[in-house]
Chains A and B, each alone.
Chain A
Amino acid sequence: MGIQKGLARAAISAGLGVALAIAPLGSALAEPGSADTPVAGESANPSYEDQVRGESAGDTKLYVIGSANDLTTSEGSVTENVKVSIPVAIHYVADSQGNLVGPSNNVVKFVNHTNLGAVHVSKIAVQNAENASIVKSGGTLANDQMCFFVRPVQGQSNETGSTFVPGAATEGASGDFKLEGERDELGNYASLAHDQAQNPVNKGDWNIAQKHGALALNDLSGKVGGFGAIDAATDTQVGTVHWTVRAGTRAQADAKDASVTVHFNSNNGSNANCVPVGDQRVEVLRTQDLPKKVAREEGLSTPLNAGADDVVAPKSRTNPDGSVTSYRFVGWNTAADGSGKTVLTIGDMGSAEELAGTVQELYAIYEVQ
C-alpha cells in the first residue's frame, strides 16, 4: 500500500515536474495581452484592483544598467562607433503567377544611428538561391542573374539631412530595370560571391546622413524565377544580399583610400647640405592623419610646416679649417640633392590616386646662410 502510494506520488511528482517545466512554454505561447494575473513572483498591482471596470491601466517599468563610460565627460572617447540598422531579411509574397508583392516604398531602410558622421554603403554582393530567384517582372529563367530589383532612394540631402523621397521605378528601353537618374539597381551585383562584393556603381547615392539619416530600398518588385521551387506553405529563400557599410561619405572614404607613407629624411648622405641631426623617419599613415606636429623628444621626425625644432632650426657646422658654416632649412624635397619637387603639403607630391598605397621619401634641404 505504501509502495503504491509512493508510486503514485512519484508519478504525480514527475508529471507535475514536466508540467511545471513546460509552464513557461505555455506562458510564452499565451497571448501577450492576456495578463489578467500578476506575473509569478510579483505582487498584484493595487491599480488593477482599484481600476474601474472598463478602464485600462498600464505600468511602465524603469530599468537601469551599468555603463563602463563616465557619463559626465567625453574625454578619452577616441572615435564613435559605426552604428547602422540594416535590413537583413526582406519578405515578398508571390501570387499564383509568381508576381511579387514586397514591402511599401520607404519602409525597408538603412538607418544611420551614428551621431558624429555620415556612413555609406561601401559594398554589395548579391547571390541567388539555388532553385529560385527574383527576376524582372515578366522575365524568364534566363534573366535569373538579374536577381533583386531593389533600389535605394537617397535622402533629399543625404549628407546632412535625414529625409528621403520615394523613387519612381521605370523600366528602361532595353527591357532592363533601371531608374531614371543615376540610381542603382542591385541587379548590377547579382551572383557575386560574398568575398567579391562590388562597390556601388553610383557611389554618391549610397551615403546615409548622420543622426538617423535613412536610405530606403524602394520598388521591391519583380517575379519569381524558378517558381516551381517555391513551397507555398513555407518561406523560401530566393537570394541573399550582403551589405557592407563604412564610416564617412563615399568621397571621404576615397580620400582615405589615398593613403601614403612618407619618410622624412634629414640626414641623407647624398644631400651635400644636409646637417647630421640623426636618423629621423616617420610614417604618415594617411593624409588626413598627418600629425601637425611630431614631438622631437620622442625621437621622431619633423612634419611639414612644423615649427622650430632640430630640423628646421638654423644649423651650423665647423669645417676642417676651423671656419663655421651656418645653414638654414628651406624645405622638403622629393630628391635628396634638392633637385626634385619642393613639397609643402602631401598634396604637392601628387593626386590622391597617384599616391594611394605608395611610400614617399622626403628630404630636408638646407642652404648656406
Chain B
Amino acid sequence: MAAHSRGSLATQSAEHQDTNTQETRPRRRRVLAVMLALLLAMAVVTIVLGTWKDPRARKGYYEGKSEEEIQRDLDSQVDWYAMEISVAGAMQMEEGQTQVEARLENVANNHCDQKVRMFLTDNPSDVLFQSGALSPGEYMQYVDLTHALPVGRHDVTVEFQGYEQRPSFISDEGHLLGHDRFGASAAAEVTIDVLPSNVTYTQS
C-alpha cells in the first residue's frame, strides 16, 4: 500500500511534471515569439531611422554661404514663427458671475498649439483662468474664471503660449512626453467690465 502509494505518488509527480512541462512550453514559446517580434521591430526601426538620417549631416550653414543667402534663409523662417493671438478685446459679466465670453481662438493659420492664461494685469499672481491646449482652428467661446470680480472695470492680461504640436520625449518644461514651447509667449491686454447685477444700461 505504501509502495503503491509511493508509486502512485511517483506517478502523480511524473504526471505533474509532464503537465508542468506541457504548460510551460507554450508559455516559453509565446515569450520567445514576443521577443522575436520585438527584435524584428527594433531591426525595422533601426533600418528605417538609421538609413534616414545621414550621420555626416551638420546643422547650420555651410562654409562660404553668403550673408545674403543666410539672411534669405532666416527671412523664410519668420512667418513660421509668427503666432497670431485672438481674444475678445472687451468682456462683460455680471456681478457675482464667473463665466465670461472671452472668445479665445487659436487661429487656423497658426503652426502651434496654444495654452492661454488670464490674470489681473496689476496682480499677475491672481490667475483668473488657465486653459489646456487649443489646436489651430479651435476656440473657446466662454471661460470660467477662478473667482468672481468686484463691480468695475478690470485690466486683464491674456497670455498665449505656443507649443509644438508633436510631443517630445521630455519637453523643455520637463514633462515626460510633453510639448516644447513654441517661442516666447505673447499677450493681449483686455478689459472685463463687471456690472452690478441689477443694472441695465440703455443706450440712446
Shortest distance from the beta carbon of B143 to any chain A beta carbon, whole Å: 14
In the complex, what's the smallest C-beta–C-beta distance from A100 to chain B, in angstroms? 10
Q: Within residues 8 to 45 of chain B, which ones have a CB less than 8 A from any CB in chain A? A: 26, 29-30, 32-34, 36-38, 40-41, 44-45
Stretch at the interface among A43-51, A77-85, A151-159, A338-346: A77-85
Assess whether B74 is in contact with A102, with CB atoms less than 8 Å apart: yes
Interfacial chain A residues near B70, Cβ < 8 Å: 93, 101
**B203 interface hit (Cβ, 8 Å):** yes
B67-117: which have CB < 8 Å to A? 67, 70-72, 74-75, 77-78, 81-90, 92, 101, 103, 105, 107
Residues in chain A near residue B187, CB distance under 8 A: 123, 242-245
In the complex, A295 Cα to B173 Cα: how many Å?
53
In this complex, the member of A82, A234, A240 whose beta carbon has the largest number of chain B beta carbons within 10 angstroms is A82
In this complex, what residue of A is CB-closest to B152?
A285
A194 to B103 CA separation, bound complex (whole angstroms): 25
Partner of B201, one of A3, A107, A294: A294
* A294-B202 in contact (CB<8A): yes
Q: Is B118 an interface residue (CB 8 A)?
A: no
CB distance B48 to A26 under 8 Å? yes
Given A11-B36, A22-B45, A293-B202, A82:B190 Cβ within 8 A: yes
Does B183 count as interface, using CB distance less than 8 angstroms?
yes
Closest chain A residue, CB of each to CB of B90: A79
Residue numbers in B under 8 Å from A12 (CB-CB):
40
Answer yes or no: A330 CB below 8 A from chain B CBs: no
Chain B nearest CB: distance from A69 CB in Å?
A: 10
Residue B7 at the A interface, CB < 8 A? no
Task: Name, among A14, A15, A88, A242, the residue most crowded by chain B CB atoms within 10 Å (CB to CB).
Answer: A88
- Interchain CA distance A92-B86 in the complex, whole Å: 28
Within 8 A of A (CB), among B146-169: 151-153, 157, 162
Measured between beta carbons, the chain B residues less than 8 angstroms from A321 are none
Q: Is the interface of A mostly helix, strand, loop or mixed?
A: mixed
Across-interface contacts of A240 in B (CB, < 8 A): 184
Is B144 an interface residue when CB atoms closer than 8 A count as contact?
Answer: no
Which chain B residues lie closer than 8 Å to A232 at the CB level?
A: 60
CB of B202 within 8 A of CB of A291, answer yes
> Within 8 Å of chain A (Cβ to Cβ): is B176?
no
Residues of B in contact, count (CB < 8 Å): 69
A92 touching B185 in the complex, CB below 8 Å, given contacts A244-B157, A261-B152: no
A220 closest partner in B (C-beta): B74
When chains A and B are docked, how far (Å) is the Cα of A292 from the Cα of B202? 8
Contacting residues, chain A, for B5 (C-beta < 8 A): none
A11-B33, A82-B190, A240-B184 known; A88-B89 Cβ under 8 A: no
Q: Which residues in B have their C-beta under 8 angstroms from that of A289?
A: 193
The reply on B59 being an interface residue by CB < 8 A is yes
Q: How far is the CB of A298 from chain B (nearest CB, A)?
A: 5
| Closest chain A CB from B77 CB (angstroms) | 5
Q: Are the CB atoms of A22 and B48 closer together than 8 Å?
A: yes
Determine if B2 is an interface residue (Cβ-Cβ < 8 Å).
Answer: no
Contact A291 B201 (CB under 8 A): yes
Contact B78 A107 (CB under 8 A): yes
Some 10 contacts from A to B, beta carbons below 8 A apart, are A3-B26, A7-B29, A15-B41, A86-B85, A86-B186, A101-B70, A111-B82, A233-B58, A256-B191, A298-B198
**Residues of B with Cβ closer than 8 Å to A?**
26, 29-30, 32-34, 36-38, 40-41, 44-45, 48, 52, 58-61, 67, 70-72, 74-75, 77-78, 81-90, 92, 101, 103, 105, 107, 124, 137, 141, 151-153, 157, 162, 182-191, 193, 196, 198-204
